[in-house]
Amino acid sequence: MSGGAGVAPVRVRHAVFLPPFGELADPRRCAALAASAEEHGWDGFFLWDHVLRPDPPMAVADPWVTLAAVAVATERIRLGPMITPIVRRRPQKLAREVTTLDQLSGGRLILGLGLGVDTGRELSGFGELVDPLERGDLLDEGIELLRAMWSGERVEHHGEHFVADGVVLLPRPTQLPYPPIWMAARTTAARPLRRAARQAGLFVIEVDAESLSGMLELIRSERGTLDGYDVAAVRHGGIDASAYETAGVTWWMTDVAPGVPAADVSAMVAAGPPS
């Protein structure tokens, strides 16, 4: 954790963070970009998890299938979806995908989870829950169920949103008890931050450095320490990186806007992480 009284600074890691839209909707192209990222010193390769880009309509790749191609094309870098909303997933299917991708990558998966957004009506257009409080309840129940299913033990769960009636899911993930989970948060609201405090990391979206400091104070009060806790933020051009690193950022996610030509993305990746 950078900054913070009594906390030794650690190396801030850098990841490529891409929307698999347009020209990047080709899984082979993303796999080649990930191999280049590994070659040029990046620490991670993460993909947006969306199902629609409607204005105007764009090609969209499934991030989980694409990440399988990324896992095969690389050996070192961390990878994962940022973020997957459980509201449009079935936990048993997601549990299987997490375990399979963690095994395929040799234990390099980081799982981003969150409420999701209705951008482009990717929730309302398919009849999913849109009320944020209901989605929060579903997310909490879904995380609890996922953790139970990754245990390899018999699961009895009869909740408001999900059922697992005496099931055992094997094998277990490579990373035990399960891969690191980063929870997404856009605001300083207490509920998502307490949720994030129970997991391995926080992925902040459109949050300034001052707000991030306050968010991490709440998480520290919940956890007792931020040692070993990851904090990821999106790095845009012109951002004051030092302020964020002082606040506590441990991962920078360098992204591009949807629709940027693949050649431009390839050049960015080949240039290596920002200094």
Position with higher pLDDT, 9 vs 174 = 174
pLDDT, mean of residues 16-28: 97
Give the tens place of pLDDT for each residue, 172-223. Answer: 999 999 999 999 998 889 999 999 999 999 999 999 999 999 999 999 999 9
Does residue 106 register a pLDDT over 70? yes
d(CA 14, CA 85): 23
**Predicted structure pTM score:** 0.94
pLDDT band at 10 (very low <50, low <70, confident <90, very high): low
Compute the distance between CA of residue 12 and CA of residue 253 in angstroms, rounded to an integer. Answer: 11
- Domains of the chain listed by start with CATH number: 13-270 (3.20.20.30)
Asked if residue 4 has pLDDT above 80, the reply is no
Q: Would you say 253 and 204 are in contact if contact means Cβ atoms under 8 Å apart?
A: no
Helix (H, G, I), strand (E, B) or coil at 121: helix
Q: Residue 187: left if φ>0, alpha if ψ -120 to 50, beta else—which one?
A: beta
pLDDT confidence band for 12 (50 / 70 / 90): very high
**pLDDT score of 24 more than 60:** yes
Q: For residue 6, is pLDDT > 50?
A: no
Give the pLDDT confidence score for residue 101 in this predicted structure: 98
Q: Percent helix, strand and coil across the chain, each rounded to 5?
A: 40, 20, 40
Q: Using pLDDT thresholds of 50, 70 and 90, give the confidence band for residue 30.
A: very high
Q: Which of 28, 95, 91 is nearest to 65 (CA)?
A: 28
Other C-beta atoms closer than 10 Å to the C-beta of 56 total 6
Q: Residues 137-144: what's their mean pLDDT?
A: 97
Between 55 and 227, residue with greater pLDDT: 227
Instruction: Provide the pLDDT for residue 1.
Output: 40
Cα torsion for 229, 86, 57, 110, to the nearest 10°?
A: 30
